[in-house]
Structure 1
Amino acid sequence: MNLPKYKRSNQTGRKGLNKLKGIVEEQLEWILRPSHQEDDFGIDGYIDIIDGESVTGKSIAFQVKTGQSYLVELDENHWLFRDTFEHLNYYLNHDIPVLVILVDDVENVAYWEICKAEFTNRTGNSWTMPIPKSQHLNAESKEILKNYVSSNVDYASQLENYWDGNKLLTDSGHILLIAGKDDIKNLNYQPFIEFLNRACSNKQLLIHLCEKVEIGIHGYDYEKRELYEIEEVKHWITQIFSMVPGLTYFLVNHERAQFLKLFMFCRIDFEVVPNSETQDGKLIKQKVEFDSKQLVKIFEIIFNDLNDFTEAFKIALKVNERVSKNIMSCLTGVDWETIKKKDNSM
């Protein structure tokens, strides 16, 4: 009659795993998690390291061989473990340590060694590694094994300042970033790059800071020239979108936006209309005249930056469209949303 066959090696393997489980949980006071047999590619399980009552998140993988047939003497001080090259590659590519464990099911002793490339040798069509006879898996090996994993870090405590900083940013209506005179002269964009990196690393910040960042230029208060007339300022500003990719997404772009307009004035030829100053609250406005065709290059720079950024961060197309319309309205003085509604109604 054809029936499934029971292999004695399976029984031996289970006995070895049970002995190992007893050692790990009773002597080391850690947790042993065996792998499911169908998922056994050379790792028989994992040992979770416990510190007091705390599960540390640190683990050690293991391969266990049980029985007298695996206790092959290399010399009076070592057993000789032998395995395939496939398993060796698998062990050494693990991101956590891998132990090779030999269980003596007669003496109830488990011998171990960490699998390290420098411990191995090639022997014919396989690799071998000495397992010290003196290296028993027991309570005395606990501290040695802990040295193979990294120390625990209290990330929650370390993140308090980071979280507080993010909350301050998300609670703010708008953010003003200042470029000092030294930044301008040295073409330093690093503070702005770091700010955007922080904003991009946190999805809540990324959402909140869209169209919320204004850039101010500091250090030229006593200059009689306008900022767009100062060559070093003009040079710094015209390079910013290539040096700080994604800036367009964050920049304030409403009617009172300053930096976007300053960028435009640094890149186009225009004339200030004489005696055209008007008072709008505390903001003094001046009328300017320029050839609108010059805006093509401005929009090309800005919208390429915006498109690349929204695509890279998988930001919705409707957000891109809203930002684009607001920028066009900001730089042209035309309400593009109103024009769209009129076109749709015709």
Structure 2
Amino acid sequence: MFNFHNKIHFVVRVAKQDIKHGRVNNFMKILDKAEQQQGKLKNQVILEFQGYDHDPREVYEIPEIRKWVQKVYRQKPHIFYYLCDFSETMLIAYLCLVEVKVVAASGGRTKCEVELNTDLITEIILYATNYAIQSGDSYTKVITLANRIKNALLGHLPQII
């Protein structure tokens, strides 16, 4: 855990071997514990993919990371309830779920074409907000969650396209 933007965040370090072999069970155990704590980790989970520091590609361009995130989303489609929006974890997870095409790379900067999948964004928001309602979050918190996800995803997309 660490302090980021005056909030405590929970960093989940995902081992490269877990990613390469598509193993999500360690992460699922963390989410299962989070679910038992009734929202204490809401907007606090930051994913850190270990072993890719020297890979010049963006995280969302690495096929095995994309597959790992897609598998997590299939098993826990309300994952965005927990993901932190300040660290771009939420945006990176979304980019792993959609088609991303690199169109240019120079000077350490990558320019991508990203599929703006409004159906998927709606689905992500619905799963997260339904989970929030089931968890007992207030109407105000549910609306705040929906706006936080929308802003995290749509607010950053023009910067990477």
TM-score (norm 2): 0.75
Structure holding more strand per residue: 1
Gaps of 5+ in 2: 157-161
Alignment match, 1:177:
12
Q: Which amino acid aligns with 2:34?
A: A
Q: Does residue 192 of structure 1 match 2:14?
A: no
Deviation at 1:260, TM superposition (A): 1.7
1:78 corresponds to: none
CA distance in 1, matches of 2:125, 2:70: 15
* 2:42 match: 210
8 Å contact from structure 1 (residues 214, 259) kept in 2: yes
Give the CA deviation at 1:225.
Answer: 2.8
The answer to whether the 8 A contact 2:78-2:124 is kept is: no
If you compute each CA radius of gyration, which structure gives the higher value, 1 or 2?
A: 1
SS of the counterpart of 2:153? helix
The DSSP-based 3-state class of the residue aligned with 1:242 is helix
Q: Is the 8 A contact 1:213 1:251 kept in 2?
A: yes
- Quote the residue 2:54 is aligned against: 222
Residue 150 of structure 2 is aligned to residue 328 of structure 1: yes
Matched letter for residue 269 of structure 1: V
C-alpha displacement of 1:245: 4.3
Matched-pair contact (CA < 8 Å) for 1:189–1:244: no
Q: Quote the offset at 1:174 in angstroms.
A: 0.7
Q: 1:242–1:274: structure 2 CA closer, same or farther, 3 Å change rule?
A: closer
- 1:231/1:271 Cα in 2 relative to 1: closer, same or farther (>3 Å)? closer
Kept in 2, the 8 Å contact 1:211–1:250? The answer is: yes
CA distance in 1, matches of 2:52, 2:81: 27
One-letter amino acid matched to 1:259: T
Aligned length: 151
**Contact 1:241–1:302 (8 Å) recurs in 2:** no
How far has the Cα of 1:326 moved from its partner? 1.2
Task: Give aligned-pair identity as a percent.
Answer: 21
Q: Counterparts of 2:119 and 2:50 in 1: how far apart (Å)?
A: 27
Please list every run of 5 or more consecutive structure 1 residues that lacks an aligned counterpart in the other structure. 1-167, 278-284, 335-346
Deviation at 1:268, TM superposition (A): 2.8
CA–CA distance in 2 between the matches of 1:296 and 1:181?
Answer: 31
Within 1, Cα distance between the matches of 2:62 and 2:104? 20
Q: Return the alpha-carbon distance in structure 2 between the equivalents of residues 321 and 244 of structure 1.
A: 20
SS of corresponding position for 2:11: strand
